[in-house]
Amino acid sequence: MLIHVKDIPSSGKEISAQFGEKDLDWGSSDTEIEILRPIIFQGKAFKSGEDILINGHIQAELKVACHRCLEPFEMNIESDLDLFFQPLTSKEEKEDLEDVSSEELEILHYQDNQINLSEEVRDTIILEMPMRLLCQKDCQGLCLKCGVNRNLESCSCLQEKSKSNPFKEFFQKQE
């Protein structure tokens, strides 16, 4: 979804938008993400000169695969967004701005008088995702030997030696 800077009056503009599967490009993420319901964005855009500030909130219901057992599970993400944009002008100016980025509010840039809100929504969701996606806190994962999902089935592999190192054989061969 594109926001046209010219459409934002000095008094600010309410923005509510929904983002479906087609609106968001997950290309840069290696996690497979399925959108169960359109992601809801609600917020307001403010303009001061050429600077644009967008405050908002997103709600997403997603389906992702558990990192341990690979089973898909549903996950909700809610997050506040505070986005500060300046127009991208000449290259030198951009470099100057990058020095300021150590400050709390990161400066984003817009081009051609347009702000691509879809990209910001996608990036926020990727940032909000935990590093380890687990279907449940104590997911048992898959058995390294026979591959059964140990949340659903038990296997006898583990009884052999509970703390056998799966890399043991590998290291022995190296010696």
* Contact residues: Zn ion, CB under 5 A: 66, 68-69, 135, 139, 143, 145-146, 155, 157
By DSSP bridging, strand 72-87 and strand 107-110 are parallel
Q: Name the residue nearer to Zn ion (CB basis): 73 or 84.
A: 73
Q: From the CB of 26, what's the least distance to Zn ion, in Å?
A: 21
Q: From the CB of 36, what's the least distance to Zn ion, in Å?
A: 18
Q: From the CB of 167, what's the least distance to Zn ion, in Å?
A: 17
For residues 19 and 7, what is the distance between their CA atoms, to the nearest angstrom?
Answer: 20
Contact (Cβ atoms closer than 8 angstroms) between residue 143 and residue 150? yes
Q: Name the residue nearer to Zn ion (CB basis): 37 or 145.
A: 145
Q: State how far Cα 41 lies from the chain centre.
A: 15
Q: Name the residue nearer to Zn ion (CB basis): 81 or 133.
A: 133
Each as own residue / partner, the long-range contacts of residues 87-94 (CB below 8 Å, 24 or more positions apart, any chain) are 87/5, 87/50, 87/111, 87/113
Q: Name the residue nearer to Zn ion (CB basis): 112 or 153.
A: 153
Token pair, residue 56, equals 């908002």
Q: From the CB of 160, what's the least distance to Zn ion, in Å?
A: 10
